[in-house]
Amino acid sequence: MERISVTPETLLFNWSEYFDGDRDLFQKVLRNPGTIFVYDIDGILADTAEIVLKRFSEKFCIKTDARDIDRWNYLSEIAKTAGLSSDVITHVEDDWFNPEVLQEVKRCLYVRPVVLRTANYYGADRNFVLTSRNPDLKFSTVNWLAKEFPEIKPENILIRENGGTDLVDSAKFKVDRLRELSKKAPWVVFVDDSTDFVHAVLTDGIQNCLVINVPQGKIIPGFKHERLVVINRYPEKYQAMYPFMCAVLTAIDGRSDIDG
């Protein structure tokens, strides 16, 4: 059980200051026991950036910081600025897709209490993982989730079986799966760190899908939507799972103090 420690940062924290969206809709959707909750993996459940950036820094002696991520090819841009060779630049992002590395990823701090609560409140059948990871990462992905989030049923892990690997294919895969789930529940909550995927889902027009964006680093959506909630980073050194946790637990239980 992951215990949430009390620190000066958390004692002084007001989660609503880091919440951008319709709070009444958020509460309405999350308090509906028929809601389906859908989690992305990287940047939401898994702190993939922490290990990938650390390995890059150790290999090339170049400082990196997840708080500074401002684009999805962050490491490639750093490598170019540092004058690394074209061959090195071609492969600096490879660890994002390395099954051995992904097996060693830690879960994001403060997200486990959220999964425990949504699994308990909505039921295991209504909690899903939806990832754009490549099909060849299915085995390592399922194994990692079984270890870190056993509440998620293996059959509720949605990962591509085949098809392309570019952004368009990935976005279509996520949109299609969410559209299918939306037919089975009054509401679907989709949590993702990618502003591209968030935008694709919202523009597709699934009317009963509430989208929660927890952006990586400095990346923020350049758009607004009535069904979009953005959770901003706090404490700054972590992905924004602490305010996300507080928002979810407050909406469901009317409280934000929790021991995981």
Last residue of a domain, one of 103, 118, 142: 103
Whether 86 and 140 map to the same domain: the answer is no
CB 41 within 8 A of CB 131: yes
Segment (H or E) for 20: strand 19-20
Q: Classify residue 259: in a domain, yes or no.
A: no
CA angle 204, 173, 122 (to 5 degrees): 80
| 206 Cβ contact list (under 8 Å, min separation 6) | 175, 178, 179, 182, 188
| pLDDT at res. 14 | 80
| pLDDT tens by residue, 178-211 | 999 999 999 999 999 999 999 999 999 999 999 9
124 and 63 together in one domain: no
Asked whether the whole model's pTM tops 0.75, one would answer: yes
113 shares its domain with 86: no
**Chain segment 100-155, per-residue pLDDT in tens:** 999 999 999 899 999 999 999 999 999 999 999 999 999 999 999 999 999 999 99
Exposure letters 116-130 (e unless 16+ CB within 10 A, then b): bbbbebbeeebbbbb
Is 172 among the domain residues? yes
Q: Is the pLDDT of residue 4 over 60?
A: no
Task: Indicate if 119 and 16 belong to the same structural domain.
Answer: yes
Judge whether 3 lies within some domain.
no
Q: What is the model's pLDDT at position 17? A: 86
228 in helix, strand or coil?
strand
Q: In angstroms, what is the C-alpha Rg of the chain?
A: 18
In whole angstroms, what is the distance from residue 254 CA to residue 157 CA?
A: 29
Average model confidence (pLDDT) for the chain?
A: 89
Give the chain's domain count. Answer: 2
Encode pLDDT of 142-163 as tens digits: 999 999 999 999 999 999 887 5
Residues 41 and 120 occupy one common structural domain:
yes
Q: Are residues 66 and 177 in the same domain?
A: no
Domain that holds residue 22: 8-47+106-253
Amino acid identity of 128?
F
